[in-house]
Structure 1
Amino acid sequence: MPQPAPLPLLFLDVDGPLIPFGPRPGPFPVYPVDGAHGTGGNPLLARIDPRHGARLAALPCEPVWATTWGQDANTWICPLLGLPPLPVLDEPEPSATDEQDARAGRHWKTRALVARAAGRPFAWVDDEITAADRTWVAGHHRAPALLHRVDPGIGLTDGDWTALDRWLRDPR
């Protein structure tokens, strides 16, 4: 009996998508933080909508943190979202390609997440995705990929979750 295809990967950034920041009209919404989980003294964690956890868990994907928070996302953010620890996309060691990518306007994550996906379909949710990232992924990743840019002043919205769910159910 053939094995079912693995679920698509979902690479998720924290600052911008989950923690809104930057210019916006009016104050940022804040949510109560369960005393058992706390914020470790980081007031920005109160901006994380705890409903994002259930929405992320309902997606047909394998979520992976793609953030400079690294393992700290598991320590501080997963408990706020009611999620178990997630795999983390590690920042690559500095290399000669870093300067080349920076000059071309590509994010440091672009090569790393294509390598991590290893030919699997993936969605990338970030506030710093550029046309250069889209072009590079299209030329270096044969499987379907969705590069979903989020407005950092607003963070993930109902429309973003709907678009992600739709694409992850039928990656093309």
Structure 2
Amino acid sequence: MTGSVWRPLLFLDVDGPLIPFGALSQPYPTFATGSEPLGADANPLLARVDPEHGPRLAALPCEVVWATTWMADANECIAPRIGLPQLAVVDWPEPSDIDDQDERSGLHWKTRTLVAWAAGRPFAWVDDEVTDTDRAWIAAHHRGRALLHRVDPRRGLTGSDYAALDSWLRRLV
């Protein structure tokens, strides 16, 4: 964990929030960036990442942390495309270490790790897979404030998502 202990955390997923997917009948907009051209071996989904996410995320009063299966690749592939510095990255447990009971009860496999990583600090979790089960578990097991913000994966983060995050985070600082 890095950064000031007084700033809230924003745990950010990539697939869904930054890379929209799942729309049935429309093509996604694509974005070229001057700093990070797509090479022949690059993930073609990276072209869906809007470079405006970087300034919008940087303007939020929090410490942004990658909470994605992209792990360190988010710093190599996503951060430069949107103009963010290297961010802290949540290390996930091995699949064999994830509690089967959590899966049966509907608890997301990221939930316990994010609460442990936050260590009592307030946090927002931006993901397309959070559920009421995660909200209830976090309310019972996390001593700080938490906002679990579900993003529609077909659209990704929108202006209204940023407004909701900004409003919640500013009430904490």
Q: TM-score, normalised by structure 2?
A: 0.91
Please state how far the C-alpha of 1:94 moved relative to its aligned partner.
Answer: 4.0
Amino acid at match of 2:162: W
**Aligned to 1:112, what secondary structure does the other structure show?**
helix
Amino acid at match of 1:71: A
Please state how far the C-alpha of 1:31 moved relative to its aligned partner.
Answer: 0.6
Match for residue 64 of structure 1? 65
Match for residue 90 of structure 1? 91
The within-5 A match list for 1:11-160 is: 11-34=11-34, 36-39=35-38, 40-94=41-95, 97-160=98-161
Q: Percent identity?
A: 64
Residue correspondences, number: 168
Amino acid at match of 1:77: I
Amino acid at match of 1:14: V
**Aligned to 2:147, what secondary structure does the other structure show?**
strand
Gaps of 5+ in 1: none
- The 1:25–1:136 alpha-carbon spacing in structure 2 relative to 1, beyond 3 Å, is same
CA distance in 2, matches of 1:94, 1:41: 26
Deviations 1:117-163 (A, max 9, x none): 10010000000001111110010012110000000000000000000
Match for residue 163 of structure 2? 162
Amino acid at match of 1:58: A
**Aligned to 2:126, what secondary structure does the other structure show?**
strand
Amino acid at match of 1:132: T
Amino acid at match of 2:27: P
Gaps of 5+ in 2: none
8 Å contact 1:145–1:171 — kept in the other structure? no
Please state how far the C-alpha of 1:37 moved relative to its aligned partner.
Answer: 1.7
